[in-house]
Every structure is written in C-alpha cells, then in structure tokens.
Amino acid sequence: MKWLKSFEGDFESRWRKVLERRTSSFEEVEVEVREIVKKVRDGGDGALVELTKCLDGLDLKPEEIELPKEGWQRASHVIGQDLKEALLRAKEEIEDFCRRALPRDWMDVKGGMVRGEIFKAVERVGVYVPGGKALYPSSVLMGVIPAVVAGVKEVIVVTPPPVSPVILYACEIAGATRLFQVGGAQAIAALALGTERIPRVDVIVGPGNRYVTAAKKILYGQVGIDILAGPSELLVLSDGSTSPWKAALDLLSQAEHDQDAWAVLVTPDEGYAREVEGSLYRLASQALRRDIVEKSLEKNGLIVLCRDLEEAFRLSNEFAPEHLELHLREPWEWLGEVKNAGSVFVGEDTPVVLGDYCAGPNHILPTGGSARFSSPLGVLNFMKRIQFLSVTAEALKGLCPVGARIAEEEGLEGHILALRGRMKDGEEGSDQPEDQGDRGSGQP
C-alpha cells in the first residue's frame, strides 16, 4: 500500500494525482463499442446472435435469446434451501428500504395559485446483471426490486449466457418481467434501441465492465441511465480508537473485487495505520483471491495520514468514495460532516458487505468521485416528477406584470401577449399590436 502524509510538502500535488487517476475513461474502447451499437441498430436479434457467438463463444438461435418464465420457476428446485432463505431475507430488507424511500405527491394552495408535483413510474426498464466468470444474484435484487416498488410495469433483465439457476431464481423472487441471455455492450444497445424480441426501455440500470459502461455513456439521451460505474471503492475513516483488525477485514473484502478496486484508510493515528496495514497483508496472504487482492493493494491501496479528524473528513469529501466506513469512537456525532459519499456505514461493526447483500441500502453506487453529484440507485431512478399549476384570475393579475416584464427583457412578444391579452376581460384582439394593416379584411 502507498502512504501519503498530509503534513508533507508535496502532499497536495500527490493527492490531486490520486483524485485524477480515479476518473474513469472509456476512450480506449469507445470506437469498438460504437461499432457494436451500430451492428445492433442495423441487425437486431441477428446481430445479438452473431455477437454472442463471437464474444461469448456460444451459439444461440434468435428464439433462444429470451428465457421463458417457466424455467425461472423450475430453477428453485436445484437451489439449496439455505441460499433461497438468504435471498428471500435480502429481498425483504431491500423492499422495506425502498418503500420508505418512495416520494409523495404534494400540492400547495397559495394566494390564488395551486401548485404541486406528482410522481409517476416509467413504463419499462432494463436491468443489466454482470455474469460470465461470476454470479451476482444480489445485483438482480438491487436492480429489480427498486423498479418494482416504484411501480414500473415491465422490468427486463439482461445478463451474459449461460444463465445460472440462481440468477433465474433471483429474477423470479425480485419480480422481474422478462429475462434475456445477452451481455456486454450489445445488451445495452438492445435495451436502448430495441430489437425484434427485446423491447426498447425507458431506463437502463446496473453495473458492468468498461464496455457496458461505455455503451451506457454513448446511448445516454436515447435512454435514461443510472450511473457510469467504475472500479469499486472503500474508504475507512478512523480516529484510531477502533479495532485495526476490523478495518483490515473490510479493506480486504473491497480489494478482492478486482485488481482495480480501491482500498483506502484515512486516519490521524500512525500507529493504528501500521497495525491495519500489517493485519491486511496477513489476511491477503491467506486469501482465496490472493492474486487479485495483492494486485489491488499494490495498484490502489492507500493509507493517508492526516493531522486530525477535521482534515480526515475534508480529504474524504474530496475523494467522494463509493463506500465510506466511519470507524470512530462516536461515529454518529460525525455523520453530519459527510458531504460526499455513495453509502455510509456507521460504526466499526457495520461492514460494507451488509450493504452489498442484505441490509436494505443499494449496492449500485456512484464511483470515481461522482458521489459529489450522484446518488445510489433507488426508487427515484425509475420515477419522473410532473409539475402542475393552476391560477385564479386574481392571482393572474398579480403575476402578469412580473412575467410580462421578464418576457419584455427577453424580447418575446408572444409571451407578453399571452399574459396581457388575458387582462382585457376576454375581448379578442384588444391587445393586438396597432400596426396590423388590413389583415383579414380581404383588401389588397
């Protein structure tokens, strides 16, 4: 792991380089992804079959792209009861969290005006679930359940083939509507553009590799997307009063995601930091994914030694981590200092892993510093706000001069007329400009 000390002279320049290095770039795959999008746009299901053979090494017929629901139900017979119970409990907690986050329509009556907002779910969404070398039923739950709770009528899951029974079971219990075994950038293109079998969706959510993310970036505007996700991140912020072992456990769990994951410790206590580092390397040496963990720690493992907790929170907010753990003596007293983070885990006995799987909060989170302006996936990603307004004649009189003056400044005569024309007691044409000639008289 690399060390940075905030009280050393070159710290700010080194810290800026760290922040800049986290900015995800998809330029190296953008040309390739644009070609994939074009193939899907032009070739539909045929292009999906061709790309699946070329990129995934699997021969599929067009009619095999969709996995019918009968197969989902049969999947439960080959899954262990303990796993089914774990997934059902996770579903229960995620649903409860989402229901509590549902927005409420509102209306206000003020001085002759009725104003408000109503919230409506989009009609159809696509949830991308990574696959291939690993299985992520948790991503099915995290992507599908908020959409279902929001009221989306059709929730489509896409995932690379072959599809495991546990993914089928997760789709069944989460409430997905349809499932297609197609992955990569071509799956995002199919959802955004539509094919013969895959309907066009309104919103696409879910994590994926750089090809998936590049496709989401390219197609944004033709379809709504959640976030442009990069490598996973954990920042542990500690005052040194908590267990170094627990911090090391959580940093290890982050580093095993992939070799680009970030595992960061920020603390004013150097002795504590060295204990965490020692424990982390001991854990890494025994890890099943040792190679990945060691590469991750070498590339993006970081210990930042700072002057005090105030500076620790400043640095954390600048980093804007995907996951933030507060390992503090009084963590709730400091929660208000968090300005930028995807999800916060308060106290040393609240590991990120609970958020990954089963405690309720979503694990699809902003990365690469985008927590400065982005939020976790939730019900709001699947909803639109619609405003409404109604005014009485009396309220119109009060607002008319205000709107007309602003319209006058902007040079929009029709806007002025739409306001002042209503103030003439309904006399049609009474507020027309004087120089109208004989328009409509039939005279030459």
Is 323 considered catalytic here? yes
- CA–CA separation, 126 and 148 (whole Å): 12
Cα 349 to its chain centre, rounded Å, is 26
Helix (H, G, I), strand (E, B) or coil at 288: coil
- CA–CA separation, 191 and 165 (whole Å): 23
Cα 226 to its chain centre, rounded Å, is 4
In angstroms, what CA-CA distances link 202 with 12, 147, 353? 43, 12, 31
- CA–CA separation, 313 and 332 (whole Å): 14
Helix (H, G, I), strand (E, B) or coil at 255: helix
- CA–CA separation, 341 and 105 (whole Å): 28
Tokens of residue 304, six digits: 């930042």
Helix (H, G, I), strand (E, B) or coil at 57: coil
Catalytic pick from 322, 325, 327, 348?
A: 322
Catalytic pick from 172, 233, 277, 323?
A: 323
Backbone angles phi, psi at 176, to 5 degrees: -65, 155
Residue type present at position 59: D
- CA–CA separation, 211 and 34 (whole Å): 10
In angstroms, what CA-CA distances link 186 with 128, 191, 362, 425? 11, 9, 25, 60
Q: Closest Cα partner for 145 from 78, 86, 87?
A: 87
Side-chain-side CA neighbours of residue 164 (13 Å): 14
CB atoms within 10 A of CB 309: 18
Alpha helices in 26-151 (DSSP H): 27-51, 69-75, 81-100, 137-150
Cα 197 to its chain centre, rounded Å, is 26
R_g of the chain computed on alpha carbons: 27
- CA–CA separation, 66 and 49 (whole Å): 12
Is 330 considered catalytic here? no
Angle, nearest 10°, between helix axes 81-100 and 165-174? Answer: 40
**CB contact at 8 A, 181 and 198:** no
Catalytic residues: 322-323
